[in-house]
C-alpha cells in the first residue's frame, strides 16, 4: 500500500490594513477561488479535495496549508496568484515548504519572535505584553499538530 505524502506551506499575508480582520475561512475560500479561477474546475477539484488550512493566526497573518505532495506546484502557484482578499488588494507569499508540521512550527515561531521584537522596538507594546503575546502564539503554533 502506498503512503499518502503531504507537504506544508507556511504562508504570510501582506498588504491589507490592520483594520481588515481576516479569518481562516476567508483565506481558505480565497485559495479555493484561486485554484478554480487559474486552473479550472478540474484543478480546483483535484487540489482542493486534499487542501487543508491547518493553522491561521489573524494577529500575525501567518498560516500553514497542508496539501498532497503532487499538488505542490499547483497550490503554490494559486497562493501567489491571490491578489484580493475581502475586496482589498493584497499578496500572499510562501515563506517555507516543509515535509513535516514540526519544521513549519519552528519557522512560525521564528517569524513570531521577529515580529513581536519589532513591535516592542517600535514601542507599540511593553516588554511584558510582548512576552505574554509570544507565549500565547507559541502555544497556539505548537498545538496545531493536534
Q: Report the pLDDT value the prediction gives residue 146, as an integer from 0 to 100.
A: 54
Which segments of the chain have a pLDDT < 50? none
Q: Where are the domains of the chain?
A: 6-145
Beta strands 62-68; 88-89: pairing state: unpaired
**What pLDDT does 18 receive?**
82
What is the reported pLDDT for 134? 80
pLDDT for 78 equals 94
> What pLDDT is recorded for position 145?
63
Half-sphere exposure of 30 (CA within 13 A, CB side): 23
* Spatial distance between the Cα atoms of 68 and 53, rounded to a whole number of angstroms: 13
Q: What's the chain look like in SS3?
A: CCCCCEEEEEEEEECCCCCCCCCHHHHHHHHHHHHHHHHHHHHHHHHHCCCEEEEEECCCCEEEEEEEHHHHHHHHHHHHCCCEECCEECEEEEEEEECCHHHHHHHHHHHHHHHHHHHHHCCCCCHHHHHHHHHHHHHHHHHHHC
CA 146 and chain centroid, separation:
17
Q: What is the pLDDT of residue 135?
A: 82
Q: Classify domain 6-145 at the CATH topology level.
A: Alpha-Beta Plaits (3.30.70)
Amino acid at each position: 500500500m502506498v503512503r499518502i505524502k503531504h507537504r506544508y506551506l507556511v504562508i504570510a499575508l501582506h498588504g491589507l490594513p490592520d483594520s481588515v480582520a481576516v479569518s481562516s475561512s476567508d483565506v481558505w475560500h480565497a485559495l479555493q477561488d484561486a485554484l478554480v479561477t487559474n486552473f479550472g474546475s478540474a484543478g480546483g477539484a483535484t487540489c482542493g479535495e486534499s487542501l487543508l488550512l491547518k493553522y491561521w493566526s489573524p494577529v500575525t497573518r501567518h498560516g500553514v496549508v497542508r496539501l498532497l505532495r503532487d499538488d505542490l506546484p499547483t497550490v503554490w502557484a494559486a497562493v501567489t496568484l491571490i491578489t484580493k482578499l475581502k475586496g482589498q488588494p493584497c499578496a500572499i507569499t510562501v515563506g517555507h515548504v516543509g515535509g513535516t508540521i514540526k519544521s513549519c512550527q519552528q519557522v512560525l515561531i521564528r517569524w513570531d519572535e521577529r515580529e513581536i521584537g519589532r513591535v516592542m522596538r517600535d514601542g507599540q507594546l511593553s516588554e511584558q505584553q510582548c512576552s505574554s503575546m509570544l507565549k500565547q502564539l507559541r502555544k497556539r503554533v505548537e498545538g496545531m499538530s493536534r
